[in-house]
Amino acid sequence: MPKNSIKFLPIVFIAVIALVFFLELNKAPKAQTELEIEFWQYWSGPERKPLEELVAKFNSENHGFKVKMLSISMPRKKILMAVAGKVSPDLVHLDGDMVTDFAMRNALSEIKRPDGDFTKIFLDMLNIEGKQWALPLMPTCEALHINTNLLAKYNLQAPSSLNDIVKIFDRMNGTQEIGWLPSWPPWTGQFIPVLFGGRWAVDGVPTANSPANIQSWTWVQENFARKIPQDRLAAFTEGLKSYQSPDNPFYTGVIAVENNGVWERNLAKIFAPEINVEVKKFPGLVEGATYVTVDALAIPRYARHPEQAYQFMLWLLRQENLEYLALAQQKFTPLNSHSPEFFKRHGNPYIKTFIELAQSPNATYFPHLKFVQKYKREIKNSYLKMLRMEASAKQVLDELQAKIIKSENLD
């Protein structure tokens, strides 16, 4: 090697060290400004789009970090697997049941209950054993949906009492249509007791065979299940009529009256624009009785950036952002009040009915139980057994109570 080259090596070495130091010095602040949190959500199609737009809006602002949103299927399985492997995302989208399940599996991080105008029930249903595990994003509740075209065909009026529903059923029984079906939608059996003041658990203990629950299912069995041919009932209870499709019997004009959530009128407009759908509070024995459910935001255990995830969560839950999302999805927000512009722009003329129901003192949610999924499956199985006339309402509910108490060692 030439002597000049050997003399030149120390200069090159110093230059390389200086260059590396310069690059590292400039890389540190760049990495800090490009911090990115990961957000997993499970909405699809038209429900996902406005959420994507809100994420893009957040990323266009200067918050010191960005949000990467990933749309996933089978959220329960994938999120639990990520937590078990300690590779959790920073923020997740869950339904109310998943919040209960995940919290009791120690799969979520406790968060601060926020200040603001939130409707109390939506925060309470995500508060388990005195700890806030999630915050409400988009809620819904049950209301009566009426195909007024079909009722008019039989010269019938919208029902104002439980007895009116029986009369509508009796008038249409034996025809091609059905006034009200005790097994449609699929979760009806779980909902019916609420109308009679029933509950599925109190203080963590199942109350399947409470007097109100027995009264509600007896009403169903005596006034509907006993009168409708079993083969016709089975066509709905065994899934031969698809819920999420144009074959939905409410959209096709087969069922005149059903209980359903805030999304139903919008879907009916899409699948059956020719029918007119009226929405009312379900005329139960308890005024304003309804089931509340919610899509929520939570920070999973082992999230790498919980502070930023909570900051983004609170940003999403600002009134202007919640109303933007609710308008796009034809829903309402978990807030006590909405802007005048919200009601002017909303496509559902009955949206105030849902808000009033959600804020009713008789609104309720399925109890916080570690065996919530199992209990709901057993409720469905018992309800179908009752509809098939295999036992009385009291018998199946007594059996359900004993089975759950025994299997969960609650006695």
Contact (CB, 8 A) for 88 and 302: yes
β partners of residue 93? 297
Which of 328, 367, 410, 403 has its CA nearest to residue 47?
A: 328
Sorted by sequence, the CB contacts under 8 Å of residue 224 that are 6+ apart come out as 166, 169, 180, 181, 182
The more confidently predicted of residues 381 and 21 is 381
pTM metric for this prediction: 0.87
Q: How confident is the model over 244-291, as pLDDT tens digits? A: 677 888 999 999 999 999 999 988 988 999 999 999 999 999 999 999
Kindly state the average pLDDT of the residues 28-40.
72
**Which residue is associated with the tokens 């006993």?**
226
Residue 330 pLDDT greater than 80, yes or no: yes
For the chain, counts of helices (H) and of strands (E): 17, 14
Contact (CB, 8 A) for 83 and 275: no
Which of 194, 174, 169, 193 has its CA nearest to residue 257?
A: 169
CA distance 133 to 125: 10
pLDDT at 321: 98
Which of 214, 362, 228, 207 has its CA nearest to residue 283?
A: 362
Q: Cα angle vertex 80, ends 79, 83, to 5°?
A: 85
pLDDT band, residue 242 (cuts 50/70/90): low
CA distance 19 to 217: 78
pLDDT band, residue 186 (cuts 50/70/90): confident
Helix (H, G, I), strand (E, B) or coil at 233: helix
pLDDT band, residue 91 (cuts 50/70/90): very high
CA distance 141 to 147: 19
Q: How confident is the model over 68-89, as pLDDT tens digits? A: 999 999 999 999 999 999 999 9
Q: How confident is the model over 203-214, as pLDDT tens digits? A: 989 999 999 999
Domains of the chain: 35-140+293-364 (3.40.190.10), 143-291+367-407 (3.40.190.10)
Residue 111 tokens, joined: 């968060």
